[in-house]
Amino acid sequence: MKKALLLFISSLTTVLALEPNPNIVFILADDLGYGDIACYGCPDAKTPNIDRLAAEGVKFTNFYANGPECTPTRTAIMTGRYPQFAGGLECAIGTGNVGRYDDAIRLAQQSQLGLPVKQAVIPRVFTKAGYATGIFGKWHLGYEPHFNPLKYGWDKFFGCLGGNVDYFTHKELSELPVLFKNDKPVERKGYMTHLITDEALQFIKENQKQPFFCYIPFTTPHFPFQTPADKDKKFTRENWTAGSRESYVAMLEDLDNAVGQILGSIESLNLGKNTLVIFASDHGAMKPGRNLPWNGFKGGLFEGGIRAPLIARWPGKIKPGTLCRQLGATFDLTASFARITGSQLPPRKLDGIDLLACAEKELKPVARNLYWRAKRGDRTWWATLSNDGSATRKYIRKREGGDVQEWLFNITEDPGESKNLFALPGNYGHKLKQQLATWETRVKPLR
């Protein structure tokens, strides 16, 4: 199945790769739920600019993050591979550069808790193609100086190294400096979302006459749940993760306004026809976020923890109002970037497929399997999702201490994961469990 899929995508992308390189703006929200955007069914948040992207491009309805937390998904984006290959990055790096499970703790003690530079293919695929590259927002792939984005080849960086910061003081609950301009710590005044937006707009303006890749991993709407009006609201360790739905929606609507500013800049500079804009989330939301119609939240492998919105607009390439149901994951975007830039990476270097090619040609969905493993402390989640054309089935296992639980769901018939079929005789889950075990033997850490 995997070989046939790769051959199919390869033949398609050979034709598509003949076009000139576009600018690419990749906007990544942080902890945004699948059901938190109006065009995905959100009833209480106004997101006209994000909705406009969907109306003018493609909305993906079967897209997954490569992890239920921040760091593993970002690892998958940078490498185009399952995050397990990186070692130590199967859950979010803890505040203050803390490892949260055995392998991550070992690497932190060696000052190696972060993404190895040699494993990253982004921004390398862009710099080889002559792109200017900038990242503005949340990094979360290592605190140590040797994990600074500039070490990977990024031309510009502004943002925070860790997983969360106060939106006004730009500090996290540790003593480490985390707000950086390139490779130096800086202090700024202003709301974090606005600072990130301003830096991204400046980069786009400065590089309007050459191809550019502008990666904007916003911190919004990740906690602390502070709106632009909450400047005088103090957050401490006790209330760092506390928030209301009202605050969450206000943060989200402010993010949508930032998206509107970015789109406005692209249009004012007459770059719209040759700019691919992508909007996604790094995984599902925690409360008070909204993952409906799916079950579960951030941190787990039920649908709500890993289902994510994905929208792409590419005038002249992607038909407005397109709906794509192809099963996809975050690392597929890396494969798409490699094709779009004309990079000649061997297929074995990437685990993803060229998902954007499927949208460009409005192809019918093809069969595929995806896998997950997520570790934190003595808890491990596993999951595999199989879409064979007749149904989408999902096997989940969770081990915490000595307790083990297993589930099997037919996502096609039971999208809310309410009926556990694993105890039924002759169920499909045992086949998926074996496939998962085989996958685990392949994704051994490369360090």
| Angle (deg, nearest 10), helices 245-268 and 48-55 | 50
* pLDDT for residue 200: 98
In the residue annotation, 70 being an active-site residue is answered as yes
Where are the domains positioned within the chain? Answer: 2-368, 370-442
Q: Which of 39, 42, 91, 140 is catalytic?
A: 140
- pTM beyond 0.85: yes
234 Cβ contact list (under 8 Å, min separation 6): none
Q: How many Å is the Cα radius of gyration of the chain?
A: 20
In the residue annotation, 194 being an active-site residue is answered as no
Task: Identify the bridge partners of residue 409 per DSSP, sorted by sequence position.
Answer: 394
Which stretches of the chain drop beneath a pLDDT of 50?
4, 7-8, 11-18
Q: Which of 70, 91, 324, 358 is catalytic?
A: 70
* pLDDT for residue 16: 47
What span, in angstroms and rounded, lies between the C-alpha atoms of 165 and 269?
32
DSSP 359-398: HHTTPPP--EEEEEEEEETTEEEEEEEEE-SS-EEEEEEE
Please state whether 49 falls in left (phi above 0), alpha (psi between -120 and 50) or beta: alpha
How many Cβ atoms are within 10 Å of 111's Cβ, its own excluded? 14
- 2-368: CATH topology is Alkaline Phosphatase, subunit A (3.40.720)
Task: Identify the bridge partners of residue 116 per DSSP, sorted by sequence position.
Answer: none
* pLDDT for residue 175: 85
